[in-house]
Chains A and B, each alone.
Chain A
Amino acid sequence: MRDNPVLRTCAKILFAPIIVFGLYVQFHGDYSPGGGFQAGVIIAAAFILHALIFGLEAGRRLVPQWLNLALLAAGVLLYGGVGVAGMSMGGLYLDYNVLLPDPSAGQHVGIILVEFGVGLTVTAVMLALFHAFAGFNPERFGDETSDEADHSRGGS
């Protein structure tokens, strides 16, 4: 697919708008349908499109594996961190009211931070799943399974 000019051009044009739409869904999640899960999948779709058109290596150059894993953990850390921050400021776990002096503003900040963490993790997990499946190398398991089969034959 790397040589098809139509696909290449479309992917280049669509890449940024998909991410912008994902961010729109992300940051309107507290008032309208949307939120971290949906936005994460949409943003991951942009990167998966890039990897499908320009190749897995190009996708890995854009988001290296270490960055992918770091984002995955950072999202969970952000989610848990907001919860612990609420506890440390005198509230309960994930209690947004105490995050800022004004409880209403605290709710806004808390929900946006938590949703951002969810979105980050979902994006990273989707990308990691895609690369794990698309870059699957059956030869890594082929030898091992034939060994297992020999072993079971010897044992029976």
Chain B
Amino acid sequence: MIDPVSIITDSWNYLIVICLMMGGLFIVISQNNLVKKLVGLAIFQTSVFLFYITVGKMAGGTAPILLDSADVAYSNPLPHVLILTAIVVGVATTALGLALVLRIHAAFGSIEDDEVLTIKAEAALPRVTRAASETDSEARS
């Protein structure tokens, strides 16, 4: 019989990972603001870091330095090194994303996803159609 309390107390770090990951994913797909999307992406990324660290950490394990005593448990250093690299890559991707957002703001005057798409769709219309729609809107107004 699985005790629900023991699930929470034994694997609360996995629960935190799940909450962070789903929260970040929800922000990415629900927000229109591009900067908020990037924040959601960063939260998602953090949950993956936390997951790898949790898997690599051993309770009572030390740093993997050669010691004289035989019965020493080491934490697995590979996930830690992997995540150290991933954090640095994460900073670089965040900077790249923010640079793209700045560029989009300079080009379209907006960082809302739907507004940018509307402006792009209007700009992509052929000239005749656009002229017709403009005269239509002028006639209506």
Which of A10-18, A76-84, A135-143 interfaces with chain B?
Answer: A135-143
- Total number of B residues with any Cβ neighbor in A under 8 Å: 15
Q: Binding site of B, secondary structure by majority: helix, strand, loop or mixed?
A: helix
Q: Could you tell me the distance in whole angstroms from the C-beta of B8 to the nearest C-beta in chain A?
A: 27
Interface-forming stretch among A60-68, A90-98, A148-156?
A148-156
Smallest CB gap from B95: residue in A: A129
Interface residue count on the A side (C-beta < 8 Å)? 14
Judge whether A88 is part of the interface by a CB distance below 8 angstroms. no
How many residue pairs bridge A and B at CB < 8 Å? 27
Return chain B residues, CB-CB under 8 Å to A129: 95
Contacts A37-B87, A145-B107, A156-B127 known; A138 to B95 CB distance under 8 Å? no
Name 26 A/B residue pairs within 8 A (Cβ), A-sorted: A37-B84, A37-B87, A37-B88, A129-B95, A132-B99, A133-B95, A133-B98, A133-B99, A133-B102, A136-B102, A138-B102, A138-B105, A138-B106, A141-B103, A141-B106, A141-B107, A142-B106, A145-B106, A145-B107, A148-B107, A149-B123, A152-B123, A153-B127, A156-B124, A156-B126, A156-B127
**A interface, CB within 8 angstroms of B:** 37, 129, 132-133, 136, 138, 141-142, 145, 148-149, 152-153, 156
